[in-house]
Copies of this chain bind each other. A is one copy, B any other.
Amino acid sequence: MSENSAVFKIGELAKKVGSTVETLRFYETKGLLQSHSRSAAGYRLYNDSHLTQLSFILQAKKVGFSLKEIKYLLGLNLAKEAHTCEEVKTYTGEKIAEIDAKIRDLQSIRGSLHQMYEACCGGTEKATHCSILHTLAASDLSTELGARQ
């Protein structure tokens, strides 16, 4: 029932994901997003699966994966014959551990910022005596923020 066979050009795809035409072409040179069909005029043509893949790329990028890592993740999917289940499981396991570490770090720094935020009056006076700045200057920041170093 649903119209899932839509074909779109690069500008439309870029718009759909809030990216730019240039960036998508750049991703193509990096092997991240290949358009396998072209119009008569040589225009790149994309479909919903490209949209899916591009969304994955952008989401992964947003959380700190490099284009190289993303390519590898996508490559696991594309070159199935070249990878064992063991390899796939090991790699994703590592990535999960990295993500967990990153979440912990974010929560730690969030705690510090929140503490600063809550302690500040927020008024229009000069921040000379503002507790938010005292918090930032306090040495427990090094304990809290630098401990996992």
A interface residues, Cβ below 8 angstroms from B:
17-18, 48-49, 51-52, 55-56, 58-60, 62-64, 73-74, 76-77, 80-81, 83-89, 92-93, 95-96, 99-100, 102-103, 105-110, 113-114, 116-117, 120-128, 130, 132-133, 136-137, 139, 141-142, 145-146, 149
How many copies of this protein are present in the complex? 2
List 6 tightest A-B contacts by C-beta distance, closest first.
A55-B146, A52-B142, A89-B122, A59-B145, A83-B127, A55-B142
Contact status of A113 and B95, CB under 8 A, knowing A52-B146, A56-B146, A59-B146 = yes
Chain B contacts for A103, CB-based, 8 A: 103, 106-107, 110
Contact A145 B84 (CB under 8 A): no
Contact A120 B89 (CB under 8 A): yes
Chain B contacts for A102, CB-based, 8 A: 62-63, 106
